[in-house]
Structure 1
Amino acid sequence: MIQKLLFSLLLIIFPLLFLFVLAKKSKSFSRKKPSSSSPLPKAYPLVGHFFAVYPHRDRRHQFSAEVLQNSPSATFVFRGFFRSRRVLTANPAAVQHILKTNFPIYQKGDSFKVPLSDFLGQGIFNADGDNWKFQRQVSSHEFNTKSLRKFVETVVDTELSGRLQPILSIAATNKSVLDFQDILQRFAFDNICKIAFGYDPAYLLPSLPQSKFAVAFDNAVKISSERSTTMITIPWKVKKLLGIGSEKQLAIAISEVRNFATNIVKEKKKELSEKRSLESVDLLSRFLSSGHSDEQFVTDIVISFILAGRDTTSAALTWFFWLVAKNPRVEKEILKEINETSETSSAYNEVKDMVYTHAALCESMRLYPPVPADTKEATSDDVLPEGTVVKKGEKVTYHPYAMGRLEALWGKDWEEYRPERWLEMEDETNKWRFVGRDTYMYPVFQAGPRICLGKEMAFLQMKRVVAGVLRRFRVVPAMAEGVEPEFISYLTSKMNGGFPVTIEKRVETESN
């Protein structure tokens, strides 16, 4: 029996080693960026597009964008081992078809849910069908309350004035270099833990402390993401079975996250049982007070919200501050708007009136979306609007990162960071008016029935941070001349190696 098992493993491993060696040999010419006239990747019998895809495994989103730029329909079918297929699209009609028209057909599917289930459980971002509908209904009700919005404003402003601004002031005085990506992640982590749990991890302090929960959360995100994006699933499944390597690390990280979260749920239950009325307005208190007392259900959904609230807003702001620093004209316009609105508006209206800043944030997410690609699995045979056949069980990926780089959608100047493409000047008031784009052309917050519940909350947080930072400081990238950050992605996008910056205090004449 053991001999048969070893023989079967050898039959799997030797072909994979052979393919790995060949792929390494093809690396030198496959990494070249294709021009607009470059041929599309070539498929081979049995291995499909493996030789084209494997050398780009560390830049898969950039490679996918290049392929879709060269595809006439902005849709391409990647072929895998033994005639398996994966459909990739940046076509807005196809995106609408997937996310709205034929929404019931395109689900998360096991290929997405299984790699992430240990970490996210049955939370809303890892759920399908009736489970998803129920969580969506519950969450939607809790998000659409004025009290939650006010709570979010209070949390953000407290973290901004009490922690972020003092840290930036110290850095400016000491002329020290900060990893601004790390700072923004810490800021977002404190915020979302307060909003979701009513718990303050105090992760953004001048000492930049380590937090077991935050570090474990990072590890769980990274390794779970690697699971979900790998071309070959056997290695991680074997490592999980044996409890070794990255799977051992993942198990430790998930245990830390879930134990921490479960303890908070228990403490919150106890706290609420001792109160006569609901005083807390965090999401956990809302869920528990509305009758949803199952600890695993509540823990799963709150962990999902932490993932969404921490990584997406910090990713969006990291790329935003880099783009603004590279474009002084845009920074000047944003600063002008911040100063004008702060003189005449309340905190609520200040955010509402920051039209140019809103456009600048949308433009930065066009080029660097927090979630660069999203994959669904077909539950039955289908045909996309441009004619691509999708078979039951096949994966279909729509690609916001590639969509933001299509000339057909954004014009010949698509590479430029230009917030004005989102704006029109009103003749009567001589002020900018924001002009939104179709959500299927710009699915950065998804679209259709699964459109992001936290979209407005995210813009509220980001605008408050932008105003609070740029009004007082200039963020200056501390990179070598000509060096640009590398876009990478786990479950959400990041700058590879962080975002080193120096901070400069603005003089009064500059900020007025």
Structure 2
Amino acid sequence: IPSVFLNVNNMYDWATVALIRAGGTFYFRGMWFGGAHGIITIDPSKLEYMLKTRFNNFPKGQHYRERFHDLLGNGIFNADDQMWKEQRRVATTEMHSSQFVEHSFLSMQVLVHEKLLKLMDDVVNSKNSVIDLQEVLLRFTFDNICTAALGVDPECLALDLPQIPFAKAFEEATELTLFRFMVPPFVWKPMKRFEMGYEKRLKESVQIVHEFAEKAVTERRNELVRLGGLNDRSDLLSRLMEYTDQNPEGQGTQKRFSNKFLVDFCISFILAGRDTSSVALAWFFWLVQKTPEVENKILKEMNEILGQRRQCSTIKEPADHDAIFTVEELKNMVYLQAALSESLRLYPAVPIDIKEVVEDDVFPDGTVMKKGGRVLYSMFSMARIESIWGQDCSEFRPERWIKDGVFASENQFKYPVFNGGPRLCVGKKFAYTQMKMVAAAILLRYEVKVVEGHNVVPKLTTTLYMQNGLLVTLKPRLLTSTV
């Protein structure tokens, strides 16, 4: 335990070295995560056993649910068993519907080209061309996920970058909840009861988040009653209010979800979609600007796609710097997807995850787990293990994701950044579309360079933020020089 605190500012690298020395797995007991006991591992076979083979015996667990309950309630991100299965089924149905897919793509396009790029143009044209790209990307993904989930745009991307109470409260609530994992219950529970210290701030933040979501649900419910339907709306909240259960014969039954269910569901959806994509994009831009050969290959791929568009079009196309890529064009960006996947491998948005053991169990290699124990697995460390990824595991090499010119997915237990097994991320396709659209739009138009001397290091939180943000300069790109 003392070594944990001695290395708290270098936790991810320290854990990686410790796991390598231990052969990939070690037991822990004591103060970690409030007096827990269990194992920390990077073994893909253990992940498969836990996330798939014995899925029901390794849920998120009471330890996790209790700490996140104030913010997430019983939402899908904080649920297990039947409650999770029901929400998973509903989420899969609605998020994969053509109506939601089209709505989310079009609203994403509008947000990128009418707000994100305008903000960047404004920065380029100002005297100070330095921005914190991580903050801008967080604002973008927050607006985007709220539009997709609630049909409400919080306007975080306004040119003056205003402080939005809901967005600020959401960020504070997620960060403050982390303290509950770092101290034992006999510390944080009295603090909660008597509204002391960070627990008082957590309560205030959670209240703002819930009031915003409850207002959106109430207004949409009133709109449904007033209009008799929400056919003109395709956001997730509206679709859930008109959700129809299909029986095996194809007959539908209207299902009415409670306001509490809808609030919890949407808050979980926002949490899952806000931080992960923005943080992934921030690390992507940092890695790409450090690796010119990768950047040139991405630009070459985009220019080839634009060239094909010009050859096939019978009408005059806009200038390349004004290009808006279609769904199919984004799908054809194989190298860009490889670069994003490689960035996520090295810097997973969720660096460490945790499961709880329901009943005594034994992993295939003989590792014994006792009821109530916890299994922590480090995606950050897995990326740096030669036996998993080869001798070049620490290198940023998108080519490892391409075989015969086609993107080649990896085993989900070797690459669990989108979870694995029955909990495989239902929004994976949404996330890739969002990341590719943003990355392509920015790289096509700007040269992004990190400010000299800016220290980029990961922050010790539930999401792999950059501790000091990502300060960059933007310079309009001369497209002819990239072909």
The TM-score with structure 2 as length reference comes to 0.91
Which letter does structure 2 place at the counterpart of 1:503? L
Task: Tell me the CA shift for residue 67 of structure 1.
Answer: 1.3
1:69 equivalent among 12, 20, 23: 20
2:284 equivalent among 320, 331, 353: 320
2:261 is aligned with 1:311: no
Which letter does structure 1 place at the counterpart of 2:294? V
* Partner of residue 437, structure 1: 410
* Partner of residue 58, structure 2: 106
The CA deviation string for residues 401-446 of structure 1, in whole angstroms up to 9 with x for no partner, is 111111111111111111011112x3xxxxx211211000000000
Q: Aligned in 2, Cα 1:65/1:223: closer, same or farther, shift over 3 Å?
A: same
* Partner of residue 474, structure 1: 447
* Partner of residue 371, structure 2: 392
2:84 is aligned with 1:132: yes
Quote the Cα distance in structure 2 between the aligned partners of 1:279 and 1:84. Answer: 50
Listed as ranges, the matches of 1:278-427 within 5 Å are: 278-290=231-243, 291-344=255-308, 347-424=326-403, 426=404
2:187 is aligned with 1:208: no
Does the aligned pair in 2 maintain the 1:472–1:511 contact within 8 Å?
Answer: no
Quote the Cα distance in structure 2 between the aligned partners of 1:88 and 1:231. Answer: 18
Q: Which moved more, 1:236-245 or 1:445-454?
A: 236-245
Does the aligned pair in 2 maintain the 1:59–1:488 contact within 8 Å?
Answer: no
Find the residue that maps to 1:488 and give its secondary structure. coil
Task: Tell me the CA shift for residue 264 of structure 1.
Answer: 0.6
Q: Which moved more, 1:139-148 or 1:190-199?
A: 139-148
2:192 equivalent among 225, 229, 240: 240
The CA deviation string for residues 357-408 of structure 1, in whole angstroms up to 9 with x for no partner, is 0000010001100011110100000111222110000011122111111111
Does the aligned pair in 2 maintain the 1:479–1:500 contact within 8 Å?
Answer: no
Task: Tell me the CA shift for residue 169 of structure 1.
Answer: 1.4
The CA deviation string for residues 219-254 of structure 1, in whole angstroms up to 9 with x for no partner, is 1010012222x0533322221121111000000000
Quote the Cα distance in structure 1 between the aligned partners of 2:88 and 2:242. Answer: 17
Find the residue that maps to 2:7 and give its secondary structure. helix
Quote the Cα distance in structure 2 between the aligned partners of 1:225 and 1:84. Answer: 15
* Partner of residue 189, structure 1: 142
Seq. identity, %: 39
The CA deviation string for residues 67-121 of structure 1, in whole angstroms up to 9 with x for no partner, is 112222x111112169952211110000000000000100111111111100111
Unpaired runs of 5+ in structure 2? 244-254, 310-324
Quote the Cα distance in structure 2 between the aligned partners of 1:168 and 1:474. Answer: 12
Which letter does structure 2 place at the counterpart of 1:474? E
The CA deviation string for residues 453-504 of structure 1, in whole angstroms up to 9 with x for no partner, is 0000000000011111111111110140xx5411124231100021101101
Q: Aligned in 2, Cα 1:62/1:102: closer, same or farther, shift over 3 Å?
A: same
* Partner of residue 57, structure 1: 8
2:107 is aligned with 1:155: yes
Quote the Cα distance in structure 2 between the aligned partners of 1:489 and 1:151. Answer: 35
Find the residue that maps to 2:462 and give its secondary structure. coil
Find the residue that maps to 1:178 and give its secondary structure. strand
Q: Aligned in 2, Cα 1:297/1:59: closer, same or farther, shift over 3 Å?
A: farther
Does the aligned pair in 2 maintain the 1:471–1:511 contact within 8 Å?
Answer: no
Quote the Cα distance in structure 2 between the aligned partners of 1:93 and 1:166. Answer: 47
The CA deviation string for residues 5-32 of structure 1, in whole angstroms up to 9 with x for no partner, is xxxxxxxxxxxxxxxxxxxxxxxxxxxx
Find the residue that maps to 1:369 and give its secondary structure. coil
Quote the Cα distance in structure 2 between the aligned partners of 1:234 and 1:477. Answer: 44
Quote the Cα distance in structure 1 between the aligned partners of 2:282 and 2:41. Answer: 26
Quote the Cα distance in structure 1 between the aligned partners of 2:93 and 2:190. Answer: 42
* Partner of residue 497, structure 1: 468
Quote the Cα distance in structure 2 between the aligned partners of 1:398 and 1:84. Answer: 14
The TM-score with structure 1 as length reference comes to 0.86
Quote the Cα distance in structure 2 between the aligned partners of 1:70 and 1:461. Answer: 38
* Partner of residue 317, structure 2: none
Find the residue that maps to 1:376 and give its secondary structure. strand
**How many matched pairs?**
453
The two structures, once aligned, show a CA RMSD in angstroms of 1.6
The CA deviation string for residues 172-226 of structure 1, in whole angstroms up to 9 with x for no partner, is 2224210000000000011001000000111101100010100110110100122
Unpaired runs of 5+ in structure 1? 1-49, 427-431
